[in-house]
Structure 1
Amino acid sequence: MSTGEYMDSGRDDISQFYLSHLGGQWSEKLVVECPFCRSRGVAPGKLVVFLNRESFFYGYFRCLNRCVAGGFALWFAQLAAIPLAEVPGYDHTRWENRIYLKYAGDNINEEIQSYQNRSSGAIDDYFGQRSISTAARRELQVGYNGRYLVYPYIQEDGNCYSARCVHPENSSDFFWHGNEKFTRPPYCLFNVQDIARCENGALFLCEKEESLLALKQLGFPGVAVADHNLFEELNPELFAYIKTLFIFVANSPESIKSARKFASRVGYKARIVSWPPQAPNNYTLVKLAADSGENFSGEVGAMIRKASSFSPFRPPAQEFRLFRQGIARQGEESYRKMASGFSLLDRAIGGIHGINVIGGGPKVGKSTFVIQIASEMSRCKIPVLYYDFENGRQKIYQRTLSRLARMDLAEMIAGGCEPGGADEFAKACGVLEKMLFYWRIVNDRKITPELMKKHIEFIRHETRSDYTVVVIDSLHKLPFKEFAEKRVGIDAWLRQMESIRDDLQVSFLVISELSRGEGGAYDDLPHLGVFKGSGDIEYSADNAMVLFPEPEGTGSTPGDRGNRLHLVASREHSPGIVADYRLDFPYWSFVEKRAE
């Protein structure tokens, strides 16, 4: 039997439960004689049970006479004196762990009853214009004290300890009557009993009692708060056993913001009902009911069907659109500009994208190598954040200016006094000054991932750029005060870099120390295991590289020094030798050449 045939035959658990106790033939909308009307002194009416499994209200029942409050299967079992263990989905531990509130003090039940009996023709007209029947008002025991509408906040124990009294023509004119304790969360939920009635099902959470009345007129279950500001104090655990929570608020920025904040606390089960684009500002369900008349049910139904869940994931259509945009971006000039300035390196790794870790022993020129890349990228108007814990910004600027002007430090201090030197020096200074708009050096040793994100957002906004490069010099000098072991701290930082890379389209250049080999030397052949203090580099790095001295390049003069860059691991590219880099002494730069 196919799934569809199984469902149509009424053999799913919930359908079978209702059919076994009510009789009749399975239908998406089962209609039978209400078994509760007679016992409540009401002429027999019809009970409707919704059995469409694709509906959020699958298993919801309601009496068209409103002899009992509607709800889902567990509530039906309680009304019909059926053992709860027979109800599909019953979990006794839920009932044991349910939040039970304490009630104390005198109730105002008799006053509420008297207010119900005082409703006038004017009040009937008031609600009639809003398509709300007397039966719906009576279900929620709404009354009138001669001037104010009285909304009783009946608690789970069936008693009322407080009521909100609202002027019918001016909702800002209101006051609370009764015990003040019951005017604040968790007690100030209007019609709170519907939460228990809707366990394992769907429920509405509304702003304003009138909005809930409008939904009750249509037969929906729900609760309400008096004002959207109360969402902030509402405990999401109250709705722990609700499968789907629809949130319906006024069409105002403040109400929608409050709803979103609360939905983020509730999680995936929350679905905010959005207003159509043409809806007026501050529009409410009651106003919609008054304006749409007989079409009200259809209007609300359309809004409910379009309600989207508060999901931690993007909608599939948006996800696909962003994927296509990502492919398109890789063909744009701004993406291609993410180059190191070393042609052989860019060819080996496809430019500076993702997390790139560069390891090397002490004094091999790691910082000089990365400073050259960072400064050249900023020269190409790519924003670069350089987190330096090694050299200090003055030394970084001096080395960069030395490379740009082709002068050593002594010449720069002298102002470039060699023939033509002053002009070259001034030109290089002008270039460096322009670069600093895109290149920000940070020496703060209290850097955190949150602060780093703020820096990224600032420089991206300042430079109006889609991309950012973050340089870390070095990984082992990042602050780890929250971790007892440095290795744990390093791995935690790598996890943060992965998140920043993915969320903010950021590329990283990260300098790492190497572990010593046998005898304390740094002469092991380059491989992933030579990185010091982190087993996570092999998982986090998009490209892992090692700058390794050439045996023949350890000459007696600085100009003879050479390094060979090895790509030891990559997600997208083949490992191997990248190129050789000769130190261009004394100008603090490297010259790239093909490895022989």
Structure 2
Amino acid sequence: MRRRNHTDSIPRTMDQVEHKTPPHDAQAEQAILGAVFKDNAAMAAVRDTIRPQDFYLEQHQIIFEAMVKLADQGVPIDLVTMMDHLDSAGLLGEAGRVSYLCQLIDATPTAENARHYARIVRGKTKRRNVQRTIEWLQEIALADRGDEEELEAVLSVLIREVRQGIDKNPSLNFIGDFIDEAAEHLDGKYDGLPTGFPEFDYKLFGLAGLTILGAAPKVGKSVWALNVALNVARKGGVVHYYDVENGRPLVMRRLLSNFYSKTITQLKNERAWQGVAKTDFPTAIPGFHLCTEHAGMKPDVIHREAQKIEGKDVLIVLDSLQKLPPLEKQRRDSIDRWLRELEQIKHDVKITILLISELSRGEKETHYRNPTLGAFKESGDIEYSMDMGLQFTKAQGESGNMILHCVANRTGESGPIATYSYQDFKYWRWAEVPQRGGAGMGDRA
């Protein structure tokens, strides 16, 4: 798989730009990698300055990203561990194989200058960003489209990007510069993925970032996540659904029941649906992909698969956090590690992640009535990692309905969000109870 560099999407509009290699320093990139091999302490000296994406050469991106992962795991970074990691991820060939790794070590005389090399590489990244922005300006100038106000707005944004690319740190901006951006956000132009539940989408602008959903056992949190995933796929989005909780047969039965509005018993007894299911079912949700095998549920594998579809409406669902394959010896450490890895995936690939979590069993009835952030099982890093936290509680009275609460939200409303009925649960489908003032994301003016 080819990784995307900063300059991959640059529009070429002039011959002299077409053939000019973007700014980079291959020797400085090699020196950083060689320095880390020679002295792992060099990693701490460079990580606060550069990221894998700052390397211009693809094989250097792959190697440095592997170094970061090994460092996060507390694994020494040497030729043996690097070969093992890259080989397990299927990236050894793209990284240049053993001969190139040895070349990096031999070509670096000392690890003492690693921080200086990192500054050089970061500087080249900024220059590539400036080049990209200037070329976009050329594209706009030569294109015969857009009115004057639109061009001025675009120019304002791109000029700020040039300044940020040159400055050591992103420049401070006048608050008035962001009014239009804020207005567009409120108008729904930067909403998250529509869930298919109008009240939820109206109040929370859809699903975005890393969202963690918790509830007591057997309440229906997996079904809610499946409903959301099915709706995203029906709208043309891409879904990667990882399930270690229920298994492939059960997930498929629920999907088919929901899709055809038939109970599991009806699906079993009626055969007519099978004749068309192989064509109309996948045709309706072509972007839905399911994984129930532990081998496919590794952070680097999930990351790599997500990178293949970057830029689309993408939802990753994981069910559930506490049952994901362990990454550390201690359960709590493994959960915290998973959360860090998912955060990194979210930031790197700009996708939406819905993660299902158990609640602390000892407080089951309390959480049924009073949702709290601390209710999430092993909640240590959860509250710091999530962009949004959701929990189901029982509605008062005899209705049997469930209320979905937002217990944490970086970008908007919290508190009771929507009420759900079990009336269609025989089809493994939640029914959102209409509330006054509710409107779908697409219905807002």
Q: Distance in 1 between matches of 2:255 and 2:343?
A: 29
Q: Distance in 1 between matches of 2:312 and 2:169?
A: 19
Aligned alpha-carbon RMSD (Å)? 4.0
TM-score where L is the length of structure 1: 0.43
The answer to whether the 8 A contact 1:524-1:530 is kept is no
For the structure 1 residues 513 and 271, does the alpha-carbon distance in structure 2 shift closer, same or farther, using more than 3 Å as the test? closer
For the structure 1 residues 230 and 443, does the alpha-carbon distance in structure 2 shift closer, same or farther, using more than 3 Å as the test? closer
Q: Distance in 2 between matches of 1:400 and 1:518?
A: 32
Query: How far is 1:493 from its partner?
Result: 1.1
Q: Distance in 1 between matches of 2:168 and 2:255?
A: 47
1:267 matched to 2:118? The reply is yes
Question: In the alignment, which residue of structure 1 is the partner of 2:357?
Answer: 512
Q: 2:323 aligns with which of 469, 477, 492?
A: 477
Q: Distance in 1 between matches of 2:239 and 2:342?
A: 15
Question: In the alignment, which residue of structure 2 is the partner of 1:179?
Answer: none
Q: Give the number of the structure with larger relative contact order, counting CA–CA contacts within 8 Å between residues 6 or more apart.
A: 2
Give the letter aligned to residue 552 of structure 1: G
Question: In the alignment, which residue of structure 1 is the partner of 2:338?
Answer: 493
Q: 2:414 aligns with which of 567, 575, 589?
A: 575
Q: 1:444 aligns with which of 289, 293, 318?
A: 293
The answer to whether the 8 A contact 2:195-2:232 is kept is yes
Q: Distance in 2 between matches of 1:243 and 1:404?
A: 56
1:367 matched to 2:367? The reply is no
The answer to whether the 8 A contact 1:367-1:473 is kept is yes
Q: Distance in 2 between matches of 1:328 and 1:509?
A: 27
SS at 2:231's partner residue?
helix
The answer to whether the 8 A contact 1:491-1:534 is kept is no
Query: How far is 1:453 from its partner?
Result: 1.1
Percent sequence identity is 28
1:384 matched to 2:239? The reply is yes
SS at 1:586's partner residue?
helix
Question: In the alignment, which residue of structure 1 is the partner of 2:442?
Answer: none
1:74-132 Cα distance to aligned partner (Å, 9 max, x none): xxxxxxxxxxxxxxxxxxxxxxxxxxxxxxxxxxxxxxxxxxxxxxxxxxxxxxxxxxx
1:588 matched to 2:428? The reply is yes
Q: Distance in 2 between matches of 1:389 and 1:451?
A: 15
For the structure 1 residues 567 and 428, does the alpha-carbon distance in structure 2 shift closer, same or farther, using more than 3 Å as the test? farther
- The unaligned stretches of length 5 or more in structure 1 are 1-227, 245-265, 275-312, 554-559
Counterpart mapping for 1:173-322 below 5 A = 232-234=104-106, 236-238=108-110, 240=112, 266-269=117-120
Query: How far is 1:354 from its partner?
Result: 0.2
For the structure 1 residues 498 and 406, does the alpha-carbon distance in structure 2 shift closer, same or farther, using more than 3 Å as the test? same
1:507-536 Cα distance to aligned partner (Å, 9 max, x none): 111111001345877535101011101222
Question: In the alignment, which residue of structure 2 is the partner of 1:220?
Answer: none
For the structure 1 residues 273 and 385, does the alpha-carbon distance in structure 2 shift closer, same or farther, using more than 3 Å as the test? closer
The answer to whether the 8 A contact 2:236-2:287 is kept is yes
Query: How far is 1:489 from its partner?
Result: 1.3
Give the letter aligned to residue 320 of structure 2: S
Question: In the alignment, which residue of structure 2 is the partner of 1:98?
Answer: none
For the structure 1 residues 239 and 528, does the alpha-carbon distance in structure 2 shift closer, same or farther, using more than 3 Å as the test? closer
TM-score where L is the length of structure 2: 0.57
Equivalent residues, number: 293
Q: 1:410 aligns with which of 265, 269, 272?
A: 265
Query: How far is 1:474 from its partner?
Result: 0.4
Counterpart mapping for 1:20-169 below 5 A = none
Rg: which structure is higher? 1
Between structures 1 and 2, the one with greater helix share? 2
Q: 2:305 aligns with which of 455, 461, 466?
A: 455
- The unaligned stretches of length 5 or more in structure 2 are 1-99, 126-163, 172-176, 437-445
Query: How far is 1:329 from its partner?
Result: 9.8
Give the letter aligned to residue 313 of structure 2: Y
Question: In the alignment, which residue of structure 2 is the partner of 1:433?
Answer: 282
Give the letter aligned to residue 578 of structure 1: I
Give the letter aligned to residue 564 of structure 1: I
Question: In the alignment, which residue of structure 2 is the partner of 1:537?
Answer: 382
1:562 matched to 2:401? The reply is yes
The answer to whether the 8 A contact 1:468-1:506 is kept is yes
Q: Distance in 2 between matches of 1:499 and 1:492?
A: 11
